[in-house]
Every structure is written in C-alpha cells, then in structure tokens.
C-alpha cells in the first residue's frame, strides 16, 4: 500500500486532533500537531517576556527555540528546548495569544519548514489551519472538519477539565470564535478549505463514526 499524507484543517476545537491521532494510530502513521508548535512559540514569548510585535525580538527568539515531539506514556507530547510543555501550552493564557503569534510570517516560515521536513517520507497525519493549502499542498487526502460552535465549546470545556485545567465556558467560546476570526482573516496563509478537500461536519458524529468515514477515504487513496 502507498504511504500517503493526510491533511486535516478546520476551525478551533472541531476535533481535528482527535481524528488525526485516531487515524495515525489505525494506519501506524506519524502524527503532527502543527497547532502545538505555534502554541510552543507563544509559550516561549510569554515566559521570556518577549514583545512579539517587535520583529527583531521575534527573530532572536526563533533562533533560541527548538521544538520536537516525543511519546510519553503512550501520549504524543510537545517539547520546547528539551522540556515537556504539553500541559502548559493548553492553558488559556497561551490560547489567548496564539492566534496573533500565528499571524507573524517569520514564525510561520520557521514552523512550516520544520513541518515539511517531518512529512518528507510521507506516512503522516497532520492537523492545523494551512496543512492542505500551504504545508502539504500535494497531500493525497485533505479533510476540512467543521462542527457547531456550541458543540465545539462543550468539547473544549470537557477536554480542559479532563486535563485538570479550569476555564469558564463563556471565556472558552469567546476564545474559539476570536481565534477562528483571526485565523481566517490573517494575510499570511489564512485558514481556508483547500479546493480539493472533503468536508466532514462532525456535529452529530461520534468519534468512531468520524474515524470510519475518514479511514474509508484514506484507504481509497492508498
Ligand atoms: O490547533 P490549535 O487550536 O492547537 O492551534 C492553535 C493556534 O495556532 C490556532 O488558533 C491558529 C494557529 N495555527 C496556525 O496558524 N496554523 C496551523 N497549521 C496550526 C495552528
């Protein structure tokens, strides 16, 4: 069977990472959480009091940031300069700054370069906002996920609670909609459905139904 690239894009908290992880597991593929990389850069800016509106400071920061992924206790974890930051990057303070950080072209260029290197042997499932349009425009399967905003809010609320992170439901919804707005309207690689992407609306789908649909599409391409 041919090893392919599967690109999953969509709005915040649509279940992209749930689907991407399940697909990667079923196909024995690598999983690339591109959003975690923008979150890691954001955490670095916050922890080092770096004004990300200052291009020189951003250039300096990018030279001092090393991001990689490792499996810890069976979970895909994000590491920033050798430290496991998987939990810290999900906190609201990071969510509140990540979309503005992700509008910065120099940040995007650095992340996209690394993402493309990770996909050079194919056999990868990547999720994000510009995967099918910019990172892997030649991906064999492109999925654009959508879901009702109330359902997305509830899912994110539950996800954070499961991780022991407390957050107000209204704050979560406000943050999701604000990020969708910034991510869709930025000038550099905005969130767009690729012309050759298949839309899955998972508002009324269970995780296993959504996985079954996507797996059938992947197998057709393989
Ligand atoms: O998928 P996520 O919610 O963890 O992503 C966090 C933010 O990172 C998202 O609001 C926009 C940005 N992002 C991006 O610009 N491009 C990507 N490929 C992935 C994420």
- Whole-number pLDDT of residue 159: 86
How confident is residue 210, by pLDDT bands cut at 50, 70 and 90?
A: very high
Task: Give me the residues paired with residue 199 across strands.
Answer: 144
pLDDT of residue 78: 98
Mean pLDDT of the chain: 96
Does the structure show a pLDDT above 90 at 163?
no
Stretch 31-56: mean pLDDT, rounded? Answer: 98
Task: Tell me the domains of the chain and their CATH numbers.
Answer: 5-217 (3.40.50.300)
pLDDT score at 166: 87
Token pair belonging to 119? 């996909």
Does residue 124 carry a pLDDT above 90? Answer: yes
Task: Give me the pLDDT at residue 54, please.
Answer: 98
Atom 5 in ligand 1: residue holding the nearest Cα: 35
Q: If you compute the radius of gyration of the chain from its CA atoms, what whole number of angstroms results?
A: 17
The torsion defined by the Cα of 151, 136, 179 and 23, in degrees rounded to 10, comes to: 30
What pLDDT, on a 0 to 100 scale, did the predictor assign at position 111? 98
Q: Confirm if 194 and 133 have CB atoms less than 8 A apart.
A: yes
pLDDT confidence of 175, banded at 50, 70, 90? very high
pLDDT for residue 147: 96
To the nearest 10°, the Cα dihedral for 209, 215, 221, 222?
A: -170
| Residue 151: band (very low, low, confident or very high) from pLDDT cuts 50, 70, 90 | very high
pTM of the predicted protein model: 0.95
Q: Report whether 160 contacts 166 (CB < 8 A).
A: yes
- Determine the residue of 128, 131, 139, 180 to mutate for testing ligand 1's pocket, defined as the one with the most ligand atoms within 8 A of the Cβ atom: 128
Residue with the smallest CA separation from ligand 1 atom 9 is 99
Q: What is the band of 2 on the pLDDT scale with cuts at 50, 70, 90?
A: very high
pLDDT of residue 165: 84
Task: Give me the mean pLDDT over the 217-221 stretch.
Answer: 97
Q: How far is the CA of 114 from the centre of ligand 1 (A)?
A: 15
Which residues approach ligand 1 with their CB closer than 6 A?
12, 34-35, 38-39, 98-99, 102, 128-131, 179, 183
174/169 Cα distance (integer angstroms): 9
Q: What does the pLDDT look like over 93-120, one tens digit per residue? A: 999 999 999 999 999 999 999 999 999 9
Residue 160, burial from CB neighbour count under 10 angstroms (0-12, 13-18, 19+)? middle
Strand partners, 72: 75
pLDDT band, very low/low/confident/very high, at 139 (cuts 50, 70, 90):
very high
Whole-angstrom Cα distance, residue 139 to residue 214? 14
Determine the distance separating the centroid of ligand 1 and the alpha carbon of 1, expressed in angstroms.
31
């Amino acid at each position: 069977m041919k090893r392919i690239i599967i690109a999953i894009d969509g709005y915040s908290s649509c279940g992209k990472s749930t689907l991407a992880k399940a697909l990667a597991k079923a196909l024995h593929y690598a999983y690339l959480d591109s959003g975690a990389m923008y979150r890691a850069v954001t955490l670095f800016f916050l922890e080092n009091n770096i004004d990300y509106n200052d291009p020189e400071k951003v250039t300096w920061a990018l030279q001092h940031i090393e991001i990689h992924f490792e499996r810890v206790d069976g979970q895909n974890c994000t590491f920033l300069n050798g430290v496991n930051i998987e939990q810290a990057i999900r906190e609201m303070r990071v969510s509140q700054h990540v979309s503005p950080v992700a509008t910065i072209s120099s940040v995007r260029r650095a992340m996209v370069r690394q993402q493309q290197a990770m996909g050079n042997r194919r056999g990868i499932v990547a999720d994000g906002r510009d995967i099918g349009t910019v990172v892997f425009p030649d991906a064999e399967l492109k999925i654009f996920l959508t879901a009702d905003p109330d359902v997305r809010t509830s899912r994110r609320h539950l996800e954070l609670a499961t991780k022991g992170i407390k957050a107000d439901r209204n704050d979560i919804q406000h943050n999701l909609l604000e990020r969708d707005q910034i991510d869709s309207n930025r000038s550099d690689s905005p969130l767009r459905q690729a012309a050759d992407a298949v839309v899955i609306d998972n508002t009324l789908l269970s995780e296993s139904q959504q996985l079954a649909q996507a797996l059938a599409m992947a197998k057709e391409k393989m």
